[in-house]
Amino acid sequence: MENIEKLKGQVVEDINKAKDIKSLEDIRVAVLGKKGSITELMKGLASLSVEEKKEMGKNLNLLKTEVEAVLETKKSELEEAELNAKLNNERIDVTLPIRPETQGRIHPVSKIYEEVVSIFGQMGFAVAEGPDIEDTFHNFTALNMPDNHPARQMHDTFYLPKEKNGSQDMDDSYVIRTHTSPVQIRTMQKQQPPIRIIAPGRTYRSDYDATHTPMFHQVEGLVIDKNITMAHLKGCLYDFVKTFFELDEIPVRYRPSFFPFTEPSAEMDIGCLKTKSEIKIGAGNDWLEILGCGMVHPNVLRAGGIDPEVYQGFAFGVGMDRLAMLKYGIPDLRTFFESDVRWLKNYGFAPLDESSMTNGLSNNGGQTR
């Protein structure tokens, strides 16, 4: 009897000291398991006299019931504590302010992308896409640059090796696109006029200096409908640059140029003031080339399955990285793609300042950078 009381005291003490469910389970096994101390005592009953067996059996059963109850209570206590700890740990304070704690920044190219899409979106343009790996038909031929056309040399093209009968030999069947103009063709092949799209995306040329990187970004524009003239082109692009640079007025001029896929072709310049240290857009007597454009060549319309006798159109191509450099005063293009977080911290944008025509394009009111 004394032994039983002692054992009970010990077991209850152990149970109360248990720190987690696992150690509680260990105690249960040590006491009530197959070889547990109470189980052993119960096995020992067999060797006792009938009288003793009766008395001892009753006490042991009582002990067992009591220990089980204490175990059960402790178990629910521990379970509750574990749940509370978990809930506390995983709690998210949704009221915490996001800024200025947010470290992430939007890359200037992504910012320009958003700005360009919102401006043209407002004008009723849709966004079109094409593949980075392009066939020479879409990248050149359909754009009025047949095989051996000297204009193909104007682009420092990356050609992809073509697999032929299992062997790799150089063939000009595939390139990584040198411009976004192939998306013009892909759009025309899919859709009859009226067409009004922009096609922003990555483009590639083998070139590397402060204003050229092998991968860069362009946005293509294409409008095709009946009675489209160069006046539409000029109006559209003027509205674009004015809105993009967030100016009430901006001097622009068009210089005659050449692209095989437009006729006539032009380059658009915007007025600026160039000093040693910076370029100020919208004032001064200097000019800055900003984009290439023109009226879609009849051969290009034909290649896209559109009748040039019925439809006309204009197209343009703008370097988006260049737009970013000009608008945000970033001097070296190569730094765009070095993935240096210090650079991004300096030139990047707060993630919640989304560009839109209603809330402001760049939100450049001092808090973005």
Q: State the residues that interact with ligand PHE by CB under 6 A.
A: 179, 181, 220, 259, 262, 292-294, 315-317
Q: How far is the CB of 349 from ligand PHE (least distance, A)?
A: 26
Token representation of residue 8: 């009970």
Cβ atoms of 219 and 244 within 8 Å: the answer is: no
Q: How far is the CB of 267 from ligand PHE (least distance, A)?
A: 8
Nearer to ligand PHE, 108 or 260 (CB): 260
Quote the least distance from Cβ 152 to ligand PHE, whole Å. 13
Nearer to ligand PHE (CB atom), residue 220 or residue 353 = 220
How buried is residue 40: exposed, middle or buried, by Cβ count under 10 Å (0-12/13-18/19+)? exposed
Calculated CA dihedral for residues 254, 259, 264, 266, nearest 10 degrees? 0
Closest approach, Cβ 304 to ligand PHE, in A, equals 14
By beta-carbon proximity to ligand PHE, the closer residue of 294 and 348 is 294
Kind and range of the H or E run holding 258: strand 252-259
CB-based closest residue to ligand PHE? 317
Nearer to ligand PHE, 139 or 355 (CB): 139
> How deeply is 235 buried, as exposed, middle or buried, from its count of CB atoms within 10 A (0-12, 13-18, 19+)?
exposed
Nearest residue to 254 via CA among 263, 267, 271 = 267
Cβ proximity to ligand PHE: between 71 and 197 the closer is 197
State the minimum distance, in angstroms, from the CB of residue 259 to ligand PHE: 4
CB of 344 to ligand PHE, least distance (A): 27
Q: Which is nearer to ligand PHE, 179 or 327 (CB)?
A: 179
What's the token pair of residue 368?
Answer: 């973005």
Treating both helix axes as pointing N-terminal to C-terminal, what angle do 37-44 and 21-32 enclose, rounded to 10 degrees?
10
Residue 323 three-state SS: helix
